[in-house]
Amino acid sequence: MKPAPFQYRAPTVLDEALALLEQSGPDAKVLAGGQSLIPILNMRLSSPQYLVDINRVAGLDYIEGRKDYLAIGAITRQRSVERSEIVRRRHPLLVEVIQKIGHMQIRNRGTIAGSIAHADPAAELPALLLCLDGEVVARSRSGERVIGAGHLFTDHLTTALEAGEIITEVRFPWLTPQAGWSCVEFARRAGDYALAGAIAVVIPAPQRTCQSARISYFGIAPTPVRGHEIERMLAGTTLDEATLQAAARMAESLVDGEFNDIHATTTYRRALVAEATRRALSTAWHKP
């Protein structure tokens, strides 16, 4: 199939792009990398009247290390972030997560912001943003606002972005030097969307107990899921095998009972998320 007819616009400045979106309202879609949008248009799952291509907009392609976080512009390609020297040196978890996204050809065009705005529940980057308490900068004609990851993802393929808003920047907080981290996912084939996955960050205390832990999940519910109860349970422990098994059992309850499709039953996803939890936490604990 091919897309339904639409009007194509390619502004060169951000204000022009925002004006077009305001005029078009909900009948417009933003094109950045297009790795999610174009297939959806081809299958006519979405039929916007206007397509606003922001690839020519100046000032949206950057990777900047700031005091508290890594800032990534809206049209920065995933592959550029994956190969960036500052990202490889200061945010290796982000590199590991990006390398699990599709195939290199996908990452050559796909953008960080586009993946997060698309909000596919099986995608890795939304779960990473949630795990790190990251945030996005959203711009519209009426101004700019910062949205934390905990408030950004609201439902399946749905975010808190309003009509006329676009993500202009994504912010990933830095990891502390002593942090251990891991991303584990299960998919039918390499490059496929994950049936279930977990991202974990563990910070050990000087006496070699867990000072704090973060863990988030993808592929198990309509949105990425943060394992807050698991995090609280892990604090002060040594992440021995019994603790890891307890965390795995807790993770099973986070799987949405409606996630039961041709790729995996709910029961199978629960088994996968339990194992992903155990592996991710174990790897993160032993990494420092």
Domain of 105, CATH number, reads: 3.30.465.10
Checking 252-258 for CB contacts under 8 A at 24+ apart, the result is 254/217, 254/220, 254/221, 254/225, 254/227, 255/196, 255/220, 255/221, 256/220, 256/221, 256/222
What is the largest distance, in Å, between two alpha-carbon atoms of the chain?
A: 63
Number of domains in the chain: 3
Q: Are 228 and 276 part of one and the same domain?
A: yes
Instruction: Quote the domain boundaries for residue 16.
Output: 7-53
Of 178-182, 183-187, 191-195, 213-217, least confident by mean pLDDT is 191-195
Q: Are 217 and 145 part of one and the same domain?
A: no
- 3-state helix, strand, coil split of the chain in percent (to 5) is 35, 25, 40
pLDDT for 288 equals: 64
Q: For residues 282 and 240, give the distance between their C-alpha atoms in angstroms, rounded to a whole number.
A: 8
Is pLDDT above 80 for 250?
A: yes
| Sheet-wide strand order for 28-31 | 7-9, 50-53, 28-31
Q: Are 186 and 272 part of one and the same domain?
A: yes
pLDDT for 191 equals: 85
Q: For residues 94 and 85, give the distance between their C-alpha atoms in angstroms, rounded to a whole number.
A: 12
Tell me 61's DSSP state. -
Q: Are 247 and 202 part of one and the same domain?
A: yes
pLDDT for 148 equals: 98
Is pLDDT above 70 for 52?
A: yes
Q: Are 115 and 31 part of one and the same domain?
A: no
Q: Are 128 and 208 part of one and the same domain?
A: no
Rounded to two decimals, the pTM is 0.96
Of 15-29, 111-125, 133-147, 218-232, least confident by mean pLDDT is 15-29
Q: For residues 141 and 163, give the distance between their C-alpha atoms in angstroms, rounded to a whole number.
A: 11
Tokens of 233: 């349970």
pLDDT for 2 equals: 86
Residue 58 within a domain: no
Strand partners, 136: 147, 170
Residue 156 within a domain: yes
